[in-house]
Amino acid sequence: MNEVRVIDDTGQNLGVLSRNDALALAKEKDLDLVEVSPQANPPVCKIVDYGKYSYQQEKRERKSTKHRSKLKEVKFTIKIGEHDFQTKMNRVRQFLTKGDVVRVSIFFRGREIVHASRGRELLKRVRDEVSDIARAEGNPTARGKVLQLLIVPTSKSDS
Protein backbone atom coordinates (compact mmCIF):
# COMPACT_ATOMS: atom_id res chain seq x y z
CA MET A 1 0.00 0.00 0.00
CA ASN A 2 2.54 2.57 -1.14
CA GLU A 3 0.14 4.56 -3.30
CA VAL A 4 -3.32 5.84 -2.35
CA ARG A 5 -6.01 7.90 -4.07
CA VAL A 6 -6.48 11.03 -1.97
CA ILE A 7 -9.58 13.16 -1.49
CA ASP A 8 -9.07 16.37 0.46
CA ASP A 9 -11.31 17.97 3.09
CA THR A 10 -13.32 19.91 0.49
CA GLY A 11 -14.12 16.78 -1.54
CA GLN A 12 -11.58 17.44 -4.33
CA ASN A 13 -9.89 14.39 -5.83
CA LEU A 14 -6.14 15.05 -5.55
CA GLY A 15 -5.27 11.92 -7.54
CA VAL A 16 -2.89 9.09 -6.70
CA LEU A 17 -0.12 10.03 -4.26
CA SER A 18 2.40 8.09 -2.27
CA ARG A 19 1.29 7.28 1.26
CA ASN A 20 3.98 9.48 2.79
CA ASP A 21 3.01 12.47 0.60
CA ALA A 22 -0.66 12.00 1.57
CA LEU A 23 0.24 11.85 5.28
CA ALA A 24 2.41 14.97 4.94
CA LEU A 25 -0.45 16.81 3.18
CA ALA A 26 -2.88 15.84 5.96
CA LYS A 27 -0.42 16.90 8.65
CA GLU A 28 0.09 20.22 6.85
CA LYS A 29 -3.67 20.90 7.04
CA ASP A 30 -3.71 19.72 10.70
CA LEU A 31 -6.13 16.89 9.81
CA ASP A 32 -6.06 13.08 9.63
CA LEU A 33 -5.70 10.67 6.71
CA VAL A 34 -8.57 8.15 6.86
CA GLU A 35 -8.86 5.09 4.62
CA VAL A 36 -12.47 5.03 3.38
CA SER A 37 -12.33 2.33 0.69
CA PRO A 38 -9.65 -0.31 1.26
CA GLN A 39 -11.01 -2.60 -1.51
CA ALA A 40 -10.35 -0.09 -4.28
CA ASN A 41 -7.17 -0.26 -6.30
CA PRO A 42 -5.35 1.94 -5.19
CA PRO A 43 -7.12 2.36 -1.80
CA VAL A 44 -9.08 5.60 -1.33
CA CYS A 45 -8.16 7.87 1.58
CA LYS A 46 -9.75 11.12 2.75
CA ILE A 47 -8.15 14.02 4.55
CA VAL A 48 -10.62 14.77 7.36
CA ASP A 49 -10.92 15.47 11.08
CA TYR A 50 -11.18 11.89 12.37
CA GLY A 51 -13.38 12.78 15.37
CA LYS A 52 -15.91 14.51 13.15
CA TYR A 53 -15.74 11.70 10.58
CA SER A 54 -16.40 8.95 13.14
CA TYR A 55 -19.29 10.96 14.64
CA GLN A 56 -20.88 11.29 11.17
CA GLN A 57 -20.48 7.52 10.63
CA GLU A 58 -22.17 6.74 13.97
CA LYS A 59 -24.98 9.17 13.19
CA ARG A 60 -25.55 7.52 9.80
CA GLU A 61 -25.66 4.06 11.40
CA ARG A 62 -28.14 5.14 14.08
CA LYS A 63 -30.40 6.64 11.44
CA SER A 64 -30.32 3.50 9.34
CA THR A 65 -31.49 1.20 12.15
CA LYS A 66 -35.26 1.04 11.88
CA HIS A 67 -37.93 0.30 14.44
CA ARG A 68 -38.31 -3.44 14.92
CA SER A 69 -41.94 -4.36 15.35
CA LYS A 70 -42.80 -5.98 18.64
CA LEU A 71 -45.83 -7.89 19.77
CA LYS A 72 -47.90 -5.80 22.17
CA GLU A 73 -50.95 -7.09 24.02
CA VAL A 74 -54.00 -5.09 25.09
CA LYS A 75 -56.45 -6.84 27.41
CA PHE A 76 -60.20 -6.25 27.54
CA THR A 77 -63.10 -7.78 29.45
CA ILE A 78 -66.66 -7.98 28.12
CA LYS A 79 -67.89 -5.64 30.89
CA ILE A 80 -65.54 -2.78 29.84
CA GLY A 81 -66.93 0.75 30.13
CA GLU A 82 -66.98 3.15 27.18
CA HIS A 83 -64.25 5.45 28.53
CA ASP A 84 -61.96 2.52 29.35
CA PHE A 85 -62.60 1.12 25.88
CA GLN A 86 -61.60 4.43 24.25
CA THR A 87 -58.48 4.68 26.44
CA LYS A 88 -57.36 1.18 25.45
CA MET A 89 -58.14 1.91 21.79
CA ASN A 90 -55.84 4.95 21.98
CA ARG A 91 -53.05 2.63 23.19
CA VAL A 92 -53.79 0.18 20.37
CA ARG A 93 -53.60 3.04 17.83
CA GLN A 94 -50.27 4.24 19.31
CA PHE A 95 -48.78 0.76 19.02
CA LEU A 96 -50.01 0.32 15.45
CA THR A 97 -48.73 3.70 14.26
CA LYS A 98 -45.30 2.82 15.72
CA GLY A 99 -45.35 -0.34 13.61
CA ASP A 100 -45.99 -2.86 16.38
CA VAL A 101 -48.26 -5.88 16.05
CA VAL A 102 -51.07 -5.88 18.62
CA ARG A 103 -52.75 -8.91 20.17
CA VAL A 104 -56.19 -7.96 21.49
CA SER A 105 -57.29 -10.34 24.25
CA ILE A 106 -60.78 -10.60 25.74
CA PHE A 107 -60.71 -12.26 29.17
CA PHE A 108 -63.78 -14.04 30.48
CA ARG A 109 -64.10 -14.30 34.27
CA GLY A 110 -66.13 -16.96 35.98
CA ARG A 111 -69.21 -17.84 33.94
CA GLU A 112 -68.80 -14.96 31.47
CA ILE A 113 -67.59 -17.54 28.93
CA VAL A 114 -71.25 -18.32 28.11
CA HIS A 115 -71.34 -14.83 26.57
CA ALA A 116 -68.59 -15.55 24.03
CA SER A 117 -70.70 -13.82 21.37
CA ARG A 118 -70.33 -10.51 23.27
CA GLY A 119 -66.56 -11.03 23.21
CA ARG A 120 -66.63 -11.59 19.45
CA GLU A 121 -68.70 -8.40 19.03
CA LEU A 122 -66.12 -6.49 21.07
CA LEU A 123 -63.29 -7.84 18.88
CA LYS A 124 -65.24 -6.87 15.75
CA ARG A 125 -65.67 -3.35 17.16
CA VAL A 126 -61.91 -3.12 17.87
CA ARG A 127 -61.12 -4.33 14.35
CA ASP A 128 -63.51 -1.78 12.81
CA GLU A 129 -62.09 1.10 14.89
CA VAL A 130 -58.54 0.54 13.57
CA SER A 131 -59.45 -0.57 10.03
CA ASP A 132 -57.96 2.67 8.60
CA ILE A 133 -54.44 1.88 9.88
CA ALA A 134 -54.44 -1.89 10.42
CA ARG A 135 -55.94 -5.22 9.44
CA ALA A 136 -56.85 -8.31 11.39
CA GLU A 137 -54.56 -11.30 10.91
CA GLY A 138 -56.87 -14.32 10.71
CA ASN A 139 -59.99 -14.93 12.79
CA PRO A 140 -60.45 -14.64 16.57
CA THR A 141 -59.08 -17.69 18.38
CA ALA A 142 -60.40 -19.07 21.66
CA ARG A 143 -57.84 -20.35 24.17
CA GLY A 144 -59.51 -21.46 27.36
CA LYS A 145 -61.22 -18.40 28.84
CA VAL A 146 -59.43 -16.00 26.48
CA LEU A 147 -60.51 -14.82 23.03
CA GLN A 148 -57.63 -13.34 20.97
CA LEU A 149 -57.21 -11.46 17.71
CA LEU A 150 -53.94 -10.38 16.10
CA ILE A 151 -53.95 -6.92 14.49
CA VAL A 152 -51.17 -6.02 12.07
CA PRO A 153 -50.44 -2.45 10.89
CA THR A 154 -50.92 -1.92 7.18
CA SER A 155 -47.69 -0.77 5.58
CA LYS A 156 -47.62 2.62 3.89
CA SER A 157 -47.13 0.93 0.53
CA ASP A 158 -50.51 -0.85 0.90
CA SER A 159 -52.53 2.34 1.19
Work out the pLDDT band at 159, boundaries 50, 70, 90: very low
Contact 18, 5 (CB under 8 A): no
Euclidean distance between CA atoms 109 and 147, whole angstroms: 12
Euclidean distance between CA atoms 73 and 105, whole angstroms: 7
Q: Where are the domains of the chain?
A: 3-63, 71-153
What is the assigned CATH class of domain 3-63? Answer: alpha beta
What is the value of pTM for the model shown? 0.57
Residue 156 has pLDDT above 70, yes or no: no
Residue 1 has pLDDT above 60, yes or no: no
Residue 158 has pLDDT above 70, yes or no: no
In the prediction, which pLDDT does 157 show? 43
Starting from the edge strand earliest in sequence, which strands make up the sheet with 101-107, in order? 71-77, 101-107, 146-153, 134-143
Work out the pLDDT band at 70, boundaries 50, 70, 90: confident
Element containing residue 152 per DSSP (H, E): strand 146-153
What is the assigned CATH class of domain 71-153? Answer: alpha beta
In the prediction, which pLDDT does 123 show? 92
* Cβ within 8 Å of residue 116, ≥6 positions away: 108, 142, 147
Work out the pLDDT band at 112, boundaries 50, 70, 90: confident
pLDDT digits (tens, 9 = 90+) for 11-60: 888 889 898 998 999 999 899 999 988 888 889 999 999 999 899 888 88
Work out the pLDDT band at 129, boundaries 50, 70, 90: very high
